[in-house]
């Protein structure tokens, strides 16, 4: 049977071809329309948007952090400066795979876990396109290693920065304070424009108190960069305004003498120029190397400082609150004179103890355990200061009452912050009946007045308060608030004195005479200081109990744990005819004033004679 032959339908093929042609034309026209619409969008409707994006890829706005102000001592010795250092940072938005980039960097140079942790914390709250620091203080070898491999790591930036440096480390740790990396909370509090591009801020001490003027004002520049972020040229630049330089009253020689004299003991020394209130030395030991905090202290180093039983981070000079002990007795004497309750010639019987009327409890004088009796059958003010007679001041305290003691001691600066230009100063405790009701919800008892009369019980003072009170004695009532800063950009800063203590010169003469006798008379409690001395000094020894001693028991230092031993205190002014220095010292658990008084001699020798002895 023959095969059938298919006949072409030319009309159908023509129709199919025509339809395909029309479809192809429509597709081409559609694509062309899309291109035209996109072109119209790029060049007309959204031109400005894409122009800005293009400029951002080519032109970058870079912040220029200001140079932090320098800090000098009174003689021009540099205490805080800025040293150039290379910093490795990452702009996360320019990195395709951040973790891979971090791994790559770690193959080139050491990156600690602390560095990584700080980087990730900072990155969480940093601004877009902000370079986040990863490593500070790169060596030349590390810079070279990064430069060779940088083409493989877009977004990685190495630039030169000025970083804070403290040439004397621990010596001024508590006086100056330190700067540290800006944390998340601080980033919200600080001015965004002024701190753009800045990694550090003052954390404590003078560095924090004067942050506003030390920091300066940030600048900026527009730069043209290539696809890898390398700067090709600077298009526009507005220079930053550097921070203000500070000159302090601190004297490095006096500071060093106080630091060396304290040695490895826990304690504090504050020396003040009574004529101005300028702080010549402020030492708290142990201290710490402030440079550890600048770029983020390691967890190991911080734990060692935080967990040390000697609490080196604690500024004993302004935060330590101690019973002032017998160092309060010159001020108590002035309270007695001003109130009219005693004269310099008034005497008190001293059997070695004191008893309130109608009370069988005996308040012992310290001399009782040594002599078995008092200082003398009758004790006047001169002897009471010279030999630190407790019985005399027990009787004076009872006559004054606690509220009048408050009224007379408060002008010396006890019970309130001195206003020193630093951070974290505490106010101490100057007790009164009102204070006890508000603080303890309890009434005041007469026996508590007796303890307060010799600087014990509830009474607490900081070393800076004790130094200010001593300087008030040195000026015969003129009250200068203590200050660190002497001049700002070479402009001398003068702080007006507070309302003075106005009283008779004869009263000041009596206080001076008693304090002179402490050092220069045979029965003075600090007579050992007079050996070889080239000037006259007025002083007062003090001992503050750390643990209570029961009635009838005897304190035996050798049998007491070292941290339960008495604190040793000493205050001094010199030269006595016209004092230019007032010193307050505490040696924690030193056993008594003999641990503190030699330190005063070394500090004052350095100030007056230029010799630490």
In a domain, 200, yes or no: yes
Q: Which of 198-202, 488-492, 551-555, 609-613 has the lowest mean pLDDT?
A: 551-555
Tally the domains of the chain. 2
Q: Which of 173-187, 220-234, 460-474 has the lowest mean pLDDT?
A: 220-234
**Segment 231-259 mean pLDDT:** 89
CATH number of the domain encompassing residue 428: 3.40.710.10
Confidence check: pLDDT of 430 > 50: yes
486, 83, 27, 588: which is closest to 247 by C-alpha? Answer: 486
In a domain, 26, yes or no: no
Dihedral, 171, 281, 164, 236 alpha carbons, nearest 10: -170
Give the pLDDT of residue 54: 55
Distance CA 513, CA 37 (A): 100
Confidence check: pLDDT of 224 > 80: no
Average pLDDT, the chain: 88
Beta-carbon contacts of residue 211 (< 8 Å; ≥ 6 apart): 201, 202
- 373 in the same domain as 237: no
Q: Which of 68-77, 225-234, 474-483 has the lowest mean pLDDT?
A: 225-234
How sure is the predictor about 6, in pLDDT bands with cuts at 50, 70 and 90? low
Beta-carbon contacts of residue 463 (< 8 Å; ≥ 6 apart): 268, 269, 270, 316, 317, 318, 320, 322, 584, 585, 586
- 197 in the same domain as 277: no
- 496 in the same domain as 602: yes
- 583 in the same domain as 451: yes
**Segment 518-543 mean pLDDT:** 96
Contact 481, 343 (CB under 8 A): no
Residue with tokens 């304090």: 515
Contact 425, 417 (CB under 8 A): yes
- 384 in the same domain as 338: yes
Confidence check: pLDDT of 547 > 60: no
Give pTM, 2 decimals. 0.84
CATH number of the domain encompassing residue 214: 3.90.1310.10
Max avg pLDDT among 87-96, 252-261, 287-296: 252-261
**Segment 397-414 mean pLDDT:** 97
Domain range for 86:
60-246
- 273 in the same domain as 209: no
Q: What is the pLDDT of residues 586-606, one digit of tens each?
A: 999 888 889 999 999 999 999
- 410 in the same domain as 364: yes
Positive or negative, the CA dihedral 310, 315, 317, 321 is: negative
480, 459, 462, 515: which is closest to 333 by C-alpha? Answer: 515
Burial label for 21, CB within 10 Å (0-12, 13-18, 19+), is exposed
Question: How far is the CA of 396 from the CAs of 274, 539, 573, in angstroms?
Answer: 28, 21, 24
**Segment 250-259 mean pLDDT:** 98
Distance CA 477, CA 409 (A): 12
- 282 in the same domain as 234: no
Name the residues annotated as catalytic. 326
Q: How many CA atoms lie within 13 A of 191 on its CB side?
A: 9
Confidence check: pLDDT of 549 > 60: no
Give the pLDDT of residue 613: 44
Opening angle at CA 430, ends 270 and 387, nearest 5: 65
Residue with tokens 């310290």: 366
């Amino acid at each position: 049977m023959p095969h059938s032959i298919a006949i072409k339908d030319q009309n159908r093929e023509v129709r199919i071809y025509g339809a395909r042609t029309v479809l192809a034309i429509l597709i081409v026209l559609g694509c062309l329309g899309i291109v035209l619409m996109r072109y119209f969008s790029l060049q007309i409707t959204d031109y400005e948007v894409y122009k800005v994006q293009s400029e951002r890829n080519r032109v970058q706005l870079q912040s220029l952090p200001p140079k932090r102000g320098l800090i000098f001592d009174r003689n021009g010795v540099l205490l805080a400066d800025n040293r150039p250092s290379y910093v490795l940072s990452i702009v996360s938005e320019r990195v395709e795979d951040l973790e891979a980039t971090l791994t790559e960097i770690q193959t080139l140079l050491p990156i600690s876990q602390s560095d990584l942790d700080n980087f990730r914390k900072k990155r969480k709250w940093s601004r877009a396109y902000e370079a986040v620091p990863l490593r500070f203080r790169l060596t030349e070898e590390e810079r070279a290693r990064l430069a060779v491999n940088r083409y493989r790591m877009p977004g990685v930036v190495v630039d030169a920065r000025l970083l804070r440096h403290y040439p004397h480390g621990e010596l001024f740790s508590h006086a100056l304070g330190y700067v540290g990396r800006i944390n998340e909370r601080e980033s919200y509090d600080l001015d965004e424009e002024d701190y753009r591009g800045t990694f550090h801020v003052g954390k404590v001490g003078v560095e924090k108190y004067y942050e506003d003027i030390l920091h300066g004002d940030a600048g900026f520049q527009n730069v043209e960069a290539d696809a890898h972020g390398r700067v090709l040229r600077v298009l526009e630049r507005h220079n930053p305004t550097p921070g203000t330089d500070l000159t302090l009253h601190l004297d490095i020689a006096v500071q060093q003498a106080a630091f060396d004299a304290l040695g490895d003991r826990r304690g504090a020394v504050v020396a003040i120029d009574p004529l101005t209130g300028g702080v010549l030395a402020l030492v708290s030991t142990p201290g710490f190397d402030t440079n550890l905090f600048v770029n983020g202290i390691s967890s190991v180093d911080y734990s060692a400082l935080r967990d040390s039983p000697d609490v080196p981070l604690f500024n004993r000079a302004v935060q330590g609150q101690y019973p002032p002990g017998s160092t309060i007795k010159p001020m108590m004497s002035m309270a007695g004179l001003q109130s009219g309750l005693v004269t310099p010639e008034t005497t008190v019987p001293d059997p070695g103890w004191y008893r309130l009327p109608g009370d069988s409890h005996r308040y012992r004088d310290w001399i009782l355990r040594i002599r078995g009796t008092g200082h003398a059958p009758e004790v006047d003010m001169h002897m009471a200061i010279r030999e630190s007679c407790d019985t005399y001041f027990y009787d004076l305290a009872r006559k004054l009452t606690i509220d009048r003691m408050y009224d007379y001691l408060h002008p010396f600066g006890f019970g309130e912050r001195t206003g020193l230009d630093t951070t974290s100063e505490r106010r101490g405790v100057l007790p009164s009946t009102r204070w006890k009701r508000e603080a303890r919800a309890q009434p005041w008892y007469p026996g508590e007045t007796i303890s307060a009369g010799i600087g014990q019980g509830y009474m607490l003072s900081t070393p800076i308060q004790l130094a200010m009170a001593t300087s008030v004695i040195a000026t015969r009532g003129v009250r200068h608030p203590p200050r660190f800063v002497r001049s700002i950009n070479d402009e001398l800063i003068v702080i007006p004195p507070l309302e003075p203590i106005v009283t008779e010169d004869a009263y000041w003469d009596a206080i001076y005479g008693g304090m002179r006798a402490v050092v220069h008379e045979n029965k003075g409690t600090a007579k050992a200081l007079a050996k070889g001395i080239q000037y006259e000094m007025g002083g007062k020894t003090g001992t503050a109990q750390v643990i209570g001693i029961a009635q009838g028991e005897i304190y035996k230092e050798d049998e007491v744990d070292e941290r339960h031993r008495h604190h040793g205190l000493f205050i001094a002014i010199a030269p006595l005819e016209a004092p230019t220095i007032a010193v307050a010292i505490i040696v924690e658990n030193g056993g008594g004033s003999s641990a503190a008084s030699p330190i005063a001699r070394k500090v004052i020798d350095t100030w007056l004679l230029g010799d630490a002895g």
